[in-house]
Amino acid sequence: MIEAKHIEKSFFLTKAKEGSFASLRTLFSRERREVKAVHDISFSIDRGEFVGYIGPNGAGKSTTIKMLAGILHPSHGEIRIGGYSPQRERIQVASQIGVVFGQRTQLWWDLPVRDSFEILQAMYKVDDKAYRRSMEAYQELLDLHEFLDTPVRKLSLGQRMRADLAAALLHDPPVLFLDEPTIGLDVVAKTRIRAFLKEVNQSQKKTILLTTHDMDDIEQLCNRIIVINHGKKMMDTSLADLRHQIGLPSLIRIEFRQPPEKLYELEGIERMELSENVLSIYFDKGKISSPRILAEVAGWGEPLDIQMKEPGIEEIIRLIYR
């Protein structure tokens, strides 16, 4: 469904001049700096997959999505969305994809939500029957009727995101690109959006590519994740494999009466962090058991409290980003 082959995007940043005739002087300026936002990334996503595309800020996530959506032209490489090239056949690709940017609405700011839907209906040539069907389905799933006649600028962020999702799905595209769809939302709104996305992915077999910094999004939604950093692909694997591969460090947190004077290295412990009198020990369960650690640590000082935690995906990602 989505095919990216060795795509690359470099930007030439020209240092903008200041003062009078700034634009003319910038135009003829030679001071340029090449920045590789995306460097030789390839992947292939099948129909119905729900893929998390993650990486730290500035890793090239948005740039990749923008190339897939036909907004940016890759400097090198080939992209296919349902067989079409977003660069040469942008119009065909546009009707195959739905795009949501969490940071920015696609709706008509000053008009009621309903008006945006009607304009989009005309734009994507959705016939009345299909339009009504989509509206009914999404009204129920997203409770659109609460704010269908409210101007977009007066919606809360959660409502706006629901409206944006419905708008992106109005023409029933087989592919969805979501760029941080849960950014800034409260817990309730996030849960709701996730439930909706899960439903759309499972019942309609929509192919979804999602970027996010919220690891709960990843854990609850994605069956595959692609991790990029500095514009390069670091990892492309299923969530289950990832846990296995990384060997998920477990965590024991011990509060001492007095900070221990000396920490001893132990086989199987990845790292220890001491802040004040709380010691955090990250370790590999396959190599060392927690009773063994506790027995060892008891000799370092007088423990007051002990907590044990299985770190989630967040910790894994931190390891990959590093």
Partner 1 sequence: MFALYRKLIAASIRSQMQYKMNFVTSAATTGMIMVLDFIILSAILYRFNDVVGWNIYEVGMLYGISSASVSLYRLFAPEINDFEKYIVHGELDQLLIRPVSPLLLLMTRNLDLSRVGGLVQGVSVLVISLSGLAAEGKSIVGLVLFSPIAILSGGVIYFSIGLATAGVAFWTQQMKDMLTFTIYAPANASNYPIGLYPNWLKWLFFSALPIAYMNYLPMLTLLGKGGEWFYPLLTPVAAANAFYFSRMLWNVGIRHYHSTGS
- Residues in contact with partner 1 by the rule CB under 8 A: 11, 14, 16, 20-24, 26-27, 57-58, 61-63, 66, 69-73, 90-92, 94-95, 97, 99, 101, 103-104, 106, 108-111, 115, 118-119, 122-124, 151, 179-180
Minimum distance from residue 170 beta carbon to partner 1 (Å): 12
Q: Least separation, in Å, of the C-beta of 143 and partner 1?
A: 24
Cα–Cα distances in angstroms (integers) from residue 20 to residues 23, 28, 91, 202, in the given order:
8, 14, 40, 57
Residue closest to 211 by CA, chosen among 67, 309, 311? 67
Q: Nearer Cβ to partner 1, position 62 or 207?
A: 62
Q: Which is nearer to partner 1, 22 or 304 (CB)?
A: 22
* Whole-angstrom distance, CA of residue 212 vs CA of residue 224: 13
Our CB check for partner 1 shows the closer of 97 and 210 to be 97
Burial of 127 (0-12, 13-18, 19+ CB in 10 A): exposed
Q: Give 230's strand partners.
A: none
First to last CA, the chain: 31
- Whether the CB-CB separation of 275 and 317 falls below 8 Å is answered with no
For the bound state, the minimum distance from the C-beta of residue 34 to partner 1, rounded and expressed in Å, comes to 13
What's the DSSP call for residue 178?
E
Nearer to partner 1, 121 or 250 (CB): 121
Q: Minimum distance from CB of 138 to partner 1 (Å)?
A: 19
Cβ pair 2, 44 in contact under 8 A: yes
- Shortest CB 110 distance to partner 1, Å: 4
* CB nearer partner 1, residue 68 or residue 248: 68
